[in-house]
Amino acid sequence: MNEKMLPPIAIELTKSPKARPPADKLGFGKYYTDHMFIMDYDTDRGWHEPRIVPYQPITLDPSAKVFHYGQTVFEGLKAYPTADGRILLFRPRKNAERLNRSNERLSMPTLDEEIVLEGLKQLVKIDRDWIPNEPGTSLYIRPFVIATESALGVAPSREYKFMIILSPVGMYYAGGMKPISIFVESKYVRAVEGGVGTAKTAGNYAASLKAQEEAARLGCDQVLWLDGVQRKYVEEVGSMNVFFRIGDKVVTPALNGSFLAGVTRDSVIQMLRHWEVPLEERAITIDEIVQAYREGRLTEIFGTGTAAVISPVGELCWHGERMKVGNGSAGELSARIYDTLTGIQTGKLEDPFDWTIAIDGAE
C-alpha cells in the first residue's frame, strides 16, 4: 500500500451492461468491457478528475493534436484469473514506468504511477466478471494518453486525456503455440537510435504496417526488424522482443535505444538467469544467425510480448530463402518458459520473483 494521498476516483456505474462475448469469439482487442478509466490534463490544473465511467465514445475537435501530430503513448498488460478466484496483474508497475518514459520522449506530461495503478486496479475490479477463464484467455488492459488540444501549430499539446480500457482476449495466436514464420526486413525501417523506437507510441506502429503487409503477401506472419543504420543488427519482431538459442546459449539483442524494452523480455531474462541458462544480451547480426543456422547450431527462436507471452518461431525468411528452425512445434526451452511464465501469471506456479499483484490484496 502506498502512503501518498491519492485523489479519490469518482465512479459512475453503467445502467446498461453489455452482453458478454462468447469465449471462442474473443480474438484480440475486439470487445470492450462495461467501464473505462479517464483523467484529464491541462497546463493550469495538471492531471485532474480521475474517474471510472461507462465505456463510451469520446468527442474531440477535428483539430485535436492527436489527429495531426501523433502525440499519443500507450501500454499493454494483462489481468489473469487464478483457479481459486483471485485476479493477478503481472508486473504492472513496469508498465506504468514505461508509460512515463514514453510520455517524456513525446514531450507529454508524466502521470503519477500510483494513480495509474490504482485506476487500473479499481477498473479491473469493477469489470471482473468480464475476465474470461478458458485456458489462454485473459483480460487485456490498454492504458493510453492522447493529446486533445485544438490547435494546429506544431508544438506539444496543452491538454491530454489519459484513459484505460479493458478487452477480454482469447489466445493471441488462433492456432495456439504453433510456431510462426518471420520475414527479415531489409527494405523498411521501424526506428533508429535518436528516434522514438524505445517509446510505445502510435507512430512506430503506423510505420510498421507496410512491411507487415508485404511480409504477409509472402506468406510470413511477422516482420523481424534490423537496425536502421547498418541494416544488419537484429532488433525486434512486430510487437515482440526476440531470443535465439544458439548452441548451448541463449542470445537476445541488448537494449540499444531503438527498440522497446519489453516487460516479458526482462522477465524471460531473469528467469533464464535463475535457471542458470547461459544468456547473452548483446548486438547480434543477422549474418551470425544465418551462419548458426547453416551450422545446425540455431535450435530455437522465440518472441516475447504481453499479447502472446511466448511465440515460437519456426521459420526465418531471408533473401528469398526459408530457413526452418526446430521441428514444427514449440522448442523445448520456449515451451518451458511459456509454461513457467503463464503458470506464474495465473497463480498456478509459485512466483519466486514477486511479479504478480493480486487485484484486491496488498502488493
Ligand X SMILES: Cc1ncc(COP(=O)(O)O)c(C=O)c1O
Q: What would the grid cell of residue 68 be?
A: 495531426
148/267 with CB nearer ligand X = 267
Question: CA–CA separation, 49 vs 53, rounded Å?
Answer: 12
Tell whether residue 318 is a contact of a copy of itself (CB under 8 A): no
**One symbol per residue from 85 to 124: x for binding a copy of itself (CB under 8 A), - otherwise; what is it?**
--------------------xxx-----------------
Question: CA–CA separation, 361 vs 100, rounded Å?
Answer: 25
Residue 137 binds which entry of a copy of itself, ligand X, none, with Cβ cut-offs from 5 to 8 Å by kind?
none
Strand 35-42 relative to strand 46-54, pairing = antiparallel
9, 28, 86, 256: which one contacts a copy of itself (CB under 8 A)? 28
Residue 265 binds which entry of ligand X, a copy of itself, none, with Cβ cut-offs from 5 to 8 Å by kind?
ligand X
Q: Is 187 exposed, middle or buried (0-12, 13-18, 19+ CB in 10 A)?
A: exposed
Tell whether residue 282 is a contact of a copy of itself (CB under 8 A): no
- Whether 160 and 108 have beta carbons less than 8 Å apart is answered as yes
Tell whether residue 265 is a contact of ligand X (CB under 6 A): yes
* Pick from 244, 251, 253, 158: nearest CA to 198: 253
35/98 with CB nearer ligand X = 98
Query: Of residues 135-164, which lie at the interface with a copy of itself (CB under 8 A)?
Result: 140, 142, 144, 146, 150-156, 163
Report the residue number whose CB is nearest to ligand X: 262
Tell whether residue 91 is a contact of ligand X (CB under 6 A): no
The residue assigned the cell 536502421 is 228
Stretch that binds ligand X, among 158-166, 232-240, 250-258, 273-281 (CB under 6 A): 232-240
Sign of CA dihedral 178, 280, 76, 72: negative
Question: CA–CA separation, 230 vs 207, rounded Å?
Answer: 19
Amino acid at 158: R
Query: Of residues 57-86, which lie at the interface with ligand X (CB under 6 A)?
Result: 76
Query: Of residues 233-252, which lie at the interface with a copy of itself (CB under 8 A)?
Result: 238-239
Question: CA–CA separation, 17 vs 314, rounded Å?
Answer: 42
Tell whether residue 222 is a contact of ligand X (CB under 6 A): no
Q: In the complex, which residues of this chain contact ligand X (CB under 6 A)?
A: 76, 236, 239-241, 260, 262-265, 304-306
